[in-house]
Amino acid sequence: MVQQSPVAGTIRKPVNPRVESYKNLWRRLRKNKAAVVGGLLILVFLVAGIIGPYLTTQDPNLPQISIKLQGPSAEHWFGTDNYGRDIFTRIIHGMGITMTVGFFSVALGGIIGVFLGIVSGYYGGKLDTVIMRIMDILLAFPGILLALAIVSVLGGSLTNLIIAVGVFSVPAFARIVRGSTLSVRRLEYIDAVKALGASDARIIFKHILPNVMSPIIVQLTLRIATAVLTASGLSFLGLGAPPPTPEWGAMLSEGRAYMQQAPHLVLFPGLMIVLFVLAFNIFGDGLRDALDPKMNK
């Protein structure tokens, strides 16, 4: 039982009750085996995506028709595609693209969504209603459909892909952040901070944002997984980067025609997408477990 200590005449500095828990985050995260595996995988992808292209000896886009559709070998680990290009090299080069699309689209959706969510939750009232109705409307387009509609209008390119997937991610962030903001806003210490004369902006940045950070971090991680899946789907439909960009979804789309003779054209890029998405899903799950206040006890 926590004892109240009503000492008359002393104003105690309002204590932010949740920030404390970040100290334990690292410890808990390390204990979660799945999260460690996911985190390491992400690290490997990051490193491979950044320095990998400089290490590969072959040109990802150079056609060599003489060696087309070869299966995996010592020389071509993942085989060659219909133009004789080395699939492994293309996958390494595509990693950067996948990461770019994943990170930037989620960053875009995250920034807009977090902003809308905080504004909605903090100010409430009509503004809240309007923002949340708009989110409802965006959520009324099921699954890939919203991103599909956007990219179909803007036309296929990497930038447009990022925009489409970004917009598609906005409602998820807005909703979650709004919910967390509402629950933080109800805490007594926010009232105390307000009573001490803090401005809205200060309260939002110094007190609300740090407190809603955990769901945002979890959502960022899990959303990268969804974003990469969505983007690869759009690329597969030919609505992403134009050929010969070694985007994984686009590689799948190209390889599809040769599936009968050379299934490895489809197998490897797909496996890479699975591994990439899996890494973020595992890591996100682990983060959520580590950050979940219910688990703190």
Partner 1 sequence: MTKFIIRRLLQTIPVLIGVSILVFSLMYLIPGDPAQMIAGEAASPQTVEQIREKLGLNEPPPKQYLKYMSNIIQGDLGNSIRSGRPVADEIKARFWVTVELSFYATILAVFIGLIAGIVSAVKHYTWSDVTIMIVALFGLSMPNFWFGLMLIQWFAIGSWMPDWMPQMRASGWGDDWKQVILPVVTLGTGGAAIIARMTRASMLEVVGQDYIRTARAKGMGERVVIYRHALKNALIPVITVVGLEFGGFLGGAVLTETIFAINGMGRLTIDAIRTRDFPIVQGTVLIISFLFVFVNLLVDISYRLLNKRIDLN
Judged by CB under 8 A, does residue 140 bind partner 1?
yes
Nearer to partner 1, 106 or 190 (CB): 106
Footprint of partner 1 on 64-83 (CB under 8 A): none
Judged by CB under 8 A, does residue 41 bind partner 1?
no
Judged by CB under 8 A, does residue 252 bind partner 1?
yes
Query: Which parts of 124-157 fold into alpha helices (H)?
Result: 125-139, 145-154
Burial of 65 (0-12, 13-18, 19+ CB in 10 A): exposed
Could you give phi then psi for residue 80, rounded to 5 degrees?
-120, 160
Neighbours of 204 (CB within 10 A): 20
Judged by CB under 8 A, does residue 295 bind partner 1?
no
* CB 254, CB 82: distance < 8 Å: yes
Total number of residues that touch partner 1 (CB under 8 A)? 40
Judged by CB under 8 A, does residue 249 bind partner 1?
yes
Nearer to partner 1, 139 or 217 (CB): 139
CA dist., res. 168 & res. 170, Å (int) = 6
CA distances from 201 to 33, 100, 126, 198, 209 (A): 39, 31, 19, 8, 10
CA dist., res. 208 & res. 183, Å (int) = 10
The single residue among 136, 191, 200, 292 that binds partner 1, judged by CB under 8 A, is 136
Query: Which parts of the chain fold into alpha helices (H)?
Result: 22-31, 33-55, 87-123, 125-139, 145-154, 158-185, 188-195, 200-202, 209-236, 248-255, 264-291
Nearer to partner 1, 52 or 233 (CB): 233
The region of 50-58, 90-98, 109-117, 279-287 touching partner 1 under the rule CB under 8 A is: 279-287
Which residue is associated with the tokens 């070869």? 70
The region of 2-10, 47-55, 80-88, 255-263 touching partner 1 under the rule CB under 8 A is: 255-263
Closest CB 21 distance from partner 1, rounded Å: 21
143 to 162: interface string for partner 1, x by CB under 8 A: xxx--xx--xxxx-------
Footprint of partner 1 on 218-237 (CB under 8 A): 225, 229, 232-233, 236-237
The single residue among 224, 241, 273, 287 that binds partner 1, judged by CB under 8 A, is 273
Nearer to partner 1, 134 or 213 (CB): 134
* CB 292, CB 40: distance < 8 Å: no
